[in-house]
A and B are shown apart, each in its own frame.
Chain A
Amino acid sequence: EDQVTQSPEALRLQEGESSSLNCSYTVSGLRGLFWYRQDPGKGPEFLFTLYSAGEEKEKERLKATLTKKESFLHITAPKPEDSATYLCAVMNYGGSQGNLIFGKGTKLSVKP
């Protein structure tokens, strides 16, 4: 069964304290892995898509990496405005193209 597990469930950081969020996945064939950011009361906002092991993408203080079993979202010198829930999702070749499989998310809090 295709599955996505994110850890930790919650993470509290001080401003400037770098860390990483983990997304472990099990899929029959990975079409793509997505990272989204979700603020309270809002829908998820797209951050990155990764397609193959070894791929990396960066945006401001965020960097996403991918291996055959997991993805990491590295946050460098975070600021309070980075506080949000970060969602990981995968799309596989075997299932419907509409069916993204989401993890439960990591709730990040960055204190000034």
Chain B
Amino acid sequence: GAGVSQSPSNKVTEKGKDVELRCDPISGHTALYWYRQRLGQGLEFLIYFQGNSAPDKSGLPSDRFSAERTGESVSTLTIQRTQQEDSAVYLCASSLSSSGANVLTFGAGSRLTVL
């Protein structure tokens, strides 16, 4: 596609429920990233996929968070048993590759509110 597409754009859920957030990267981009942006805070790295390599999960805050990617296509970020502190905007980005200091193209984000 023309840009990085994320869905849903807004999600309101109750504490304890599971949520899935979807990211459709730019066609041909081999690298895909998830970041979290809490109100008034900088972007926090969550997870990164590069081609068929094992993902870098070093930023995932707890085992309630997981992500998958199908080949070099769609990715899904899953948050299980959501907590109020999970409320944030979840941003997905993609890039042509991860070599060098590569430029990330971001989606508009999925805003998650946990009541």
Contacts and interface: CB of A to CB of B under 8 A. Distances in A.
Interface residues of A, number: 26
A32 B41 CA distance: 21
Q: How large is the interface on B (under 10, 10 to 19, 20 to 34, 35 or more residues)?
A: 20 to 34
A100 B35 CA distance: 9
Nearest to B43: A102
A36 B101 CA distance: 14
A99 B49 CA distance: 11
A41 B91 CA distance: 11
Interface of B: 4, 31, 33, 35, 40-45, 47-50, 56, 58-59, 91, 93, 98-109
Interface of A: 4, 31-32, 34, 36, 41-46, 49, 51, 87, 89, 91, 96-105
